[in-house]
Amino acid sequence: MELPVNLVIATRNKGKTSEIKSLLSGFPVIIRNLDDFGPIPEVKEDGETFDDNAYKKASFAAKILGFPALADDSGLVVEVLDGAPGVHSARYAGENATDEDAC
């Protein structure tokens, strides 16, 4: 029997953590997220692609916490807006915008 391994989801989003826990149920992993480790600096998502940002978040979490880490990045890519907002989706309506503002 394999011993479970800690896997850090490089997010503070409880919904995302729960979804990944569900997807990985049955595997020998203990899913944790950034909230499980106390204060950790936010990673600046300044990559040119979603993959760049996900890699940056996962590698940062793995390096500072010493556990394997998984991250994602996503957003809206609208063809008639030439791909905007793309990697800027979360901040497209402004830094302190609510979800309602963004819509």
Query: Would you tell me how many other CB atoms lie within 10 Å of the CB of residue 87?
Result: 21
Q: How far apart are CA 50 and CA 52, in angstroms?
A: 5
Q: Are 83 and 49 in contact (CB under 8 A)?
A: no
85 and 57 fall within a common domain: no
41 and 58 fall within a common domain: yes
40 and 82 fall within a common domain: no
Closest CA to 74 of 53, 50, 45: 50
Task: List pLDDT tens digits, range 4-24.
Answer: 999 999 999 999 999 999 999
- What is the side-by-side order of every strand in the sheet holding 69-70? 29-33, 5-9, 69-70
* 29 CB-contact burial (10 Å; exposed 0-12 / middle 13-18 / buried 19+): middle
Task: List pLDDT tens digits, range 19-36.
Answer: 999 999 999 999 999 999
Number of domains within the chain: 2
62 and 100 fall within a common domain: no
Within 24-98, residue ranges assigned H as helices are 50-65
Residue of 72, 73, 82, 101 marked active site: 73
6 and 35 fall within a common domain: yes
Within 1-98, residue ranges assigned H as helices are 14-23, 50-65
3 and 42 fall within a common domain: yes
Residue-range definition of the domain harbouring residue 24: 1-72
Task: List pLDDT tens digits, range 71-89.
Answer: 999 988 999 999 889 888 8
7 and 39 fall within a common domain: yes
10 and 40 fall within a common domain: yes
**Pairwise pLDDT comparison (97 vs 44), residue with the higher score:** 44
15 and 31 fall within a common domain: yes
pTM: 0.82
DSSP state of 36: G
45 and 59 fall within a common domain: yes
Q: Is 82 tagged catalytic?
A: no
